[in-house]
Every structure is written in structure tokens, then in C-alpha cells.
Amino acid sequence: MKTKERILLGALDLFNLHAASGVTTNDIARELTMSPGNLYFHYKNKEQIIRELFKRLALETQAIWKPQAKLAKKNEKIQLIDFIERNLQLYWKFRFFHRELYALRKKDPELSKLWRLHLKKLSQLMIILYKHWMRAGVMVPIQSKNEMEFVGELLFVSSNSFMLFFETVDRTPSEKTILKAQRHIMRMLTPYMTGETKDNFEKFIQ
């Protein structure tokens, strides 16, 4: 494994465990048994490491979302339960972002720009996916633009906050947190589902 990759993975583990605000570059170097100088050769500071991790999160998110549109275009069966679960697993993998996003963005304007760009791309993808899911008979038509914006914003807010909430209330946070968050998100989306997909959502929730 290349040194840059080792640094990113080591930093991600420490950030998830202790929070990015509580971890220094010296902590990362110590964990990886390398000199601080070697780390600085690859990354100038902690903010650069965090930005690189965020870029990876954005790419992995798009890798989950984009194939959904292709499935709908081909009229292939769409597994929305799996789609939601994969997104939440990714949230868990990079969970320090969702704990500290506001503080991290405030400290690093460049990261804030990357976040806004990420949200813009996801918003565009969400509209595309909704149209395909509606044509495929997975979702009911949403006639009102305000309602469409409400559903999109509520989905983003809930996805970003449910795991943080459950992680803080669970005595021992674990990937079981994903299941709790998944049930709540599916409950929120059920009124907008139709047919077999709606039935599957209701069975999963129960």
C-alpha cells in the first residue's frame, strides 16, 4: 500500500474514533509509526488530509447513485432498500464528517466549497433518479415543486443527522446504527413509494 493511502486510511480510523478536532498530524504519524516529516512530505496539514477524504466520500457516493439511473433506464428491477443501506454504510465509513461537518467547514473554506459542490451534484442526481423511479413505477408523481424540494431537503437532513443522533444515544455505537437510521428514512419515504416497493418498505419497517 502506498504511503499516501496509508495516511488517509490511518487518519480516517483516528478521526472516526476520536474526532478530527481531537487528532493531530503527529497523532496520525505516531499511529502509522512514521516520522511527522514523512507525513508532511505527502500532506501539508490535517486540513488537506480531510479534504482528500471528503473527495473520496463524494466519489464513492456518486458510484452508488449513478448506476441507479442506468437500472431505471433499462427497466431493470430497482432495489431501493439496498440503495438506502449502501448510502448509510458509506455514512458510517466516513462518520466523522457528519459529526463535525459544520465545524470543519467553518475552519476550512476550501472544504466548504467542496461540500457545496457535492450537494449541488447530489441534488441534480436526486432529480434524475426521482424521474426514473417515477417512470419505473417505484415512486408516485410529486406534482408540487415545493413538495419536491421538501422531500429532497428532508432526505438530506435526515440522512446526515439520523446516524449522528443514534450514535450519540447508543451506549456502544456500532453498525447497528445503520439499521435504525434505515428504518426511519424508509418510514419517511414510504408515502411516496408505490406498488411492490412500498410493500417491501412496509415489511422492512415492521
5 and 60 together in one domain? no
Lowest mean pLDDT among 8-22, 51-65, 143-157: 143-157
With a cut of 70, say whether residue 72 has pLDDT above it.
no
Same domain for 80 and 135: yes
User: pLDDT tens across 110-157, in order?
Assistant: 999 999 999 888 888 888 888 888 888 888 988 888 888 888 888 888
CATH number, position 26: 1.10.10.60
Q: Are residues 37 and 59 in the same domain?
A: no
Query: Is the domain of 101 the same as that of 176?
Result: yes
Burial 98-119 (b: 16+ CB within 10 A, else e): bbbbeebbeebeebeebbeebe
The answer to whether residues 5 and 59 belong to one domain is: no
Domain, as residue range, for 82: 46-205
Q: Are residues 57 and 40 in the same domain?
A: no
- Residues 131 and 166 both lie in one domain: yes
Distance CA 77, CA 79 (A): 7
- C-alpha grid cell, residue 84: 438506502
pLDDT digits (tens, 9 = 90+) for 167-198: 677 666 666 778 888 888 999 999 999 988 89
| Res. 80: pLDDT tops 70 | yes
Q: What is the pLDDT of residue 74?
A: 65
In angstroms, the first-to-last Cα distance of the chain is 44
Examine the fold and report which residue of 44, 63, 79 is the final residue of a domain before the chain moves on: 44
Query: Domain check: are 31 and 55 in the same one?
Result: no
Residues 142 and 158 in one domain: yes
Query: For position 49, what pLDDT does the model report?
Result: 97
27-40 tens-digit pLDDT:
999 999 999 999 99
Number of domains present in the structure of the chain: 2
